[in-house]
Structure 1
Amino acid sequence: MDEWGNRLDEHEQEVWRTFHRLRNQLALALGQSLQQDSGISESDFEVLAALAGAPDHAMRARTLRAELQWEKSRLAHQMRRMEQRGLVVREECLEDGRAPTVRLTDAGLASIRSAAPTHAARLRELFFDALTPAQVDALHEAGRAVLARLRQTCPAEAP
């Protein structure tokens, strides 16, 4: 019996290892580019992008956490760091004092507007330009299938 308990054949193991390396190396390269080009982290970018797309550039903290699929403590720490840099503010929610509203500041909006074009160009360069249109479609289809399986199997982890 091998380390995978004979559950994955050699091809499946190689596909998984390739996917794992792709995911990690792409995240590292994009994160480094964001930091160098815009002075923000990948986590900053995720929060800023989510808020920039929300009505009035604001979102309930629990909704933001669900959208990002982050743990409560991770979001709280990230919000504290971003507040200290003036990118977001937390405001009391009148309907429910237990869940604050997170709002993008003018500095946060300027930051995402500045970072997004360069980030998109780097994403295109590293990811989409390496694939044919058919590969992009196949990857999209495969991703949707795995996400559907996750929703069925692990509904709490994949809202």
Structure 2
Amino acid sequence: MPDPLTPAERRAWRAALVVADVLRLRVTADLKSVTDLSHAEQSVLMHIEEVDSGRINQQRLADAMYWSKSRLSRQLTRMQARGLVERSKDSDSLSVTVSLTSRGAQAIRAIEGAHAAAVRDHLLSVATDTELAAVLSLAARLVRPESSLKREKRANK
């Protein structure tokens, strides 16, 4: 069994969680005055909108969001009932495609400015350029396949 985290490792882990939680809380709170979308709904809509076609395979969406298939499915069911997204089965396979409805596209466009202001206020104006570069670098390494991360870690020892 591996050793427990050292106090320094535990502080680093907790700090990473705090950053994510605080940013999510503050940005979502700022957007409450302009939308009734939940953070999860905003995230789903933003991911779909970022795809050029405005349509994405449901499993690819789950993978992109680091969500389980069942979590995404339940979320999409609620969003479909609200008229924000629609799902369709591909005729040539068993896969499902998720797309924005006009209501979903309008909802996400309506909060773009407020979202940008909140991100600037709570992250970009607080972090230095060096800190932002470090976050971007770390995120790029974390999204690589796990096997390549392990090889890189061994090579750097």
Q: Under a length normalisation based on structure 1, what TM-score does the superposition of the two structures give?
A: 0.81
Does residue 1:103 correspond to 2:99, yes or no? yes
Residue correspondences, number:
149
SS at match of 2:111: helix
Q: Identity percentage over the alignment?
A: 24
Q: 1:143 aligns with which of 120, 128, 139?
A: 139
> Which residue in the other structure is 2:62 paired with?
65
Shift of 1:104: 0.5
Q: Which amino acid aligns with 2:117?
A: A
Does residue 1:117 correspond to 2:118, yes or no? no
Contact persistence 1:34–1:42 (CA under 8 A): no
Q: 1:19 aligns with which of 7, 12, 16?
A: 16
**Structure 2: gaps (5+ residues):** 151-157
Does residue 1:91 correspond to 2:91, yes or no? no
Distance 1:145 1:92, change over 3 A: closer
Q: Which amino acid aligns with 2:70?
A: S
Q: CA RMSD in A?
A: 2.3
- CA distance in 1 between counterparts of 2:126 and 2:18 reads 15
Q: Which amino acid aligns with 2:124?
A: F
Contact persistence 2:141–2:149 (CA under 8 A): no
Q: Which amino acid aligns with 2:118?
A: R
SS at match of 2:29: helix
SS at match of 2:86: strand
Q: Under a length normalisation based on structure 2, what TM-score does the superposition of the two structures give?
A: 0.82
SS at match of 1:127: helix
